[in-house]
Amino acid sequence: MKLTRVFAFMAMAGLATSAFATNGYFSHGYGMKAKGMAGVSTTNTEDTFFGANNPAAAAFVGNRIDLGADVFSPIREYSRTGSAQGFGLFDGTAESDSNYFIVPEFGYNRMLNNDLALGITVYGNGGMNTNYPTGQLDMGFCMTPPNTQPVPNGQPANMLCGDGRLGVDLMQLIVAPTVAYKFSPNHSVGISPLVGYQMFEAYGLQAFSPLSNDASKLTNNGTDGAFGYGVRVGYIGKVTPTVTIGAAYASKMDFEEFDDYAGLFAEQGDFDIPENWNLGVSWQATPQVRLAADYQRINYSGVDSVSNTSEPAIVFPCGAGNPTCLGGDSGIGFGWQDMDVWKLGVEYKHNQQWTLRAGYSHTDQPIPSSDVTFNSVAPAVIEDHVTLGFTYTLGSGNELTMASMYGFSNDVSGPVNQYFPVGGTDTIEMYQWSLGIQYSWKM
């Protein structure tokens, strides 16, 4: 398969799919070898996904191509109890549809000499997706003014009193060309400029129009796209014959605004990928067994549309330039907190053909209980993952790698948002699994 055709496939597939990631809107790992070890990747020098993990690895990878895809399935639920002063007029449960996604990834590396490498990684950073059906509530109840007797009218409404289905769809594709230099036999540095394209759509949020600076750019405007840019740098060092350490840092990816949703996201439609960094160590305990661990920090607090609270002190009326409303500089966000992710993995080389992997990762989900209502469309509540994987090496030296992941069910509950005055308790819940396959050509 020609490299240009592989890249074209990746570009089209990446923009045609969406997924809900597992650590906020980051994936639990990039590359099937890392995914088989719960995302441990900072010291990995065995594939070409260095542009998503640690650019310095390219200097040790050799000449190869990796092409893979995940089948990813997030199962999401949103429910409410105790609303309308305990009468339950706004109670209900909705399960998100669209439960299966294809997430592709691709990498290429070429050694220009023994110390210098050029490569490229193309991957989906992650995203957010929910697609709740309508009909849990009665639109008549939703339209009844406060302090009057609710009167049903038989028209269906979604869980947030909007018209039609409720949900969002965020897709993020990143291209990371990479250069790495081995400045001594066992140490390297690398850099990856990051070029991203993301697409977003929201629907069913009509009930929040009074909270928006521009209700015409709040919901149901189809898909909008935006380009963004950043950089990732990294270091890998083999400090002893059996111990390798690594570190990588990625700047915030600054994206263009979603103009069609300037009345939804803070700062007039701004939505960036936050800065993040990771540290890793691996130990070749025996010729067959390698143990590895990563620590990852994701600084969601640097992205206002993600980290701003969903219950700011809004100064009404909302309108163009009001900083406290949806779309304003200090307006409503998802309330996400920064994340610390711990990853542990083990790799066992059974023989020349078979390599087996397993891993576990843990984090504290980023959503406070006070922000549950707005996060009904982005229920990023997974905290624990377990993974299994393997690589089979063919006689040609090419490789077939598979990885599976299970994200344990978790939920968060909190009071219904004050600006959706129905009372009661909202709960969001999710579990997920994935199964991926990757084929690698050694050149």
Could you confirm whether domain 3-442 is CATH 2.40.160.60? yes
Q: Pairing relation of β-strands 243-250 and 224-238?
A: antiparallel
pLDDT score recorded for residue 128:
80
pLDDT score recorded for residue 278:
98
Q: Which residue has the higher pLDDT, 1 or 178?
A: 178
pLDDT score recorded for residue 18:
52
Mean pLDDT of 217-226: 97
Q: How many Å is the Cα radius of gyration of the chain?
A: 23
Residues 6+ apart with CB under 8 A from 422: 80, 83, 84, 89, 90, 161, 416
pLDDT band, very low/low/confident/very high, at 1 (cuts 50, 70, 90)? very low
pLDDT score recorded for residue 209:
95
Cα–Cα distances in angstroms (integers) from residue 60 to residues 65, 113, 290, 308, in the given order? 14, 11, 17, 41
Q: Does the pLDDT value for residue 14 go beyond 60?
A: no
pLDDT band, very low/low/confident/very high, at 19 (cuts 50, 70, 90)? low
User: Which of 145-149, 163-167, 242-246, 415-419 shows the lowest mean pLDDT across its residues?
Assistant: 145-149
Express each pLDDT in 72-123 by its tens digit: 999 999 999 999 988 899 999 999 998 999 999 999 999 999 999 999 999 9
Percent of residues, the chain, with pLDDT higher than 90? 86
Q: Pairing relation of β-strands 254-255 and 243-250?
A: unpaired
Measured CA to CA, the distance from residue 265 to residue 331 in angstroms comes to 8
pLDDT score recorded for residue 20:
56
Q: Does the pLDDT value for residue 3 go beyond 60?
A: no
pLDDT score recorded for residue 16:
44
Q: Please report the DSSP string for 101-163 in residue order.
A: EEEEEEEEEEESSSSEEEEEEEEEEEEEEEEEPS-SEEHHHHHSPTTS-----S-EE-TTS-S
Class of residue 28 by CB neighbours under 10 A (exposed 0-12, middle 13-18, buried 19+): buried
Per-domain residue ranges for the chain? 3-442
Measured CA to CA, the distance from residue 28 to residue 30 in angstroms comes to 7
Express each pLDDT in 327-369 by its tens digit: 999 989 999 999 999 999 999 999 999 999 999 999 999 999 9
